[in-house]
Homo-oligomer: A and B are copies of this chain.
């Protein structure tokens, strides 16, 4: 973190500040102070505040790396793939270790997208979503439309995202100490996986087609 390269320090500090305050509320002075750099440094190295922000988002989802085990061990069942997928996703959602402004920034971008959003979807969210799509294709009846698969995918990720995006509400709803127990990746991931598998495996495109209207 405390590297001697001011540009790197700037990027790091900016990420933190943007993540916790948002683009508007974050001030370049605050960023520079944390980076122990001069106010002019931002404009010198990045042009302006917005380009610095975009650079932060880029770095955020580059550093995120590890795009899930795409080459599953031979013979992995669809169930286990889904279990791993949800497991990794929940591991991200519940991860609090600092500095993890990367995720926080991406979450913020997802919640109220700026121009950095499109690129984020293309290079990070999209591929993950495609993997989930593939897993669900394995688990669902073949005849099902892509549209129906998408609905199921949304059902899976929706359950996961809740735990990060609405954490404060969750805490207030079920109480501090119980919510603390939900801060357990394996517990929650296993619930979501089972819940989703039941939701998926009962689907029969013949006997219970999705409504069409």
Binding site for B on A (CB under 8 A): 22, 24-25, 110-113, 117-118, 121-122, 125-126, 129, 146-148, 150-152, 154-155, 157-163, 165-166, 168-170, 172-174, 178, 181-182, 184, 186-188, 190-192, 194-196, 198-203, 208, 210-213
Contacts and interface: CB of A to CB of B under 8 A. Distances in A.
A201 to B, nearest CB: 8
9 contacts: A110-B169, A121-B173, A146-B178, A147-B174, A150-B178, A151-B182, A151-B188, A190-B210, A195-B199
A144 to B, nearest CB: 12
A110 B166 contact: yes
Contacts of A168: 110, 113, 117
Contacts of A165: 110-111, 161, 165
Nearest to A128: B173
A11 to B, nearest CB: 22
A191 B159 contact: no
A33 to B, nearest CB: 19
A159 B154 CA distance: 7
Nearest to A181: B147
Contacts of A199: 194-196, 198-199
Contacts of A154: 159, 162-163, 170
Nearest to A118: B172
Given A125-B169, A155-B195, 20 more contacts: A22-B24, A110-B165, A111-B165, A117-B168, A118-B172, A122-B172, A126-B172, A147-B181, A150-B173, A150-B178, A151-B182, A151-B188, A154-B162, A155-B191, A158-B162, A161-B166, A186-B213, A190-B211, A198-B203, A202-B202
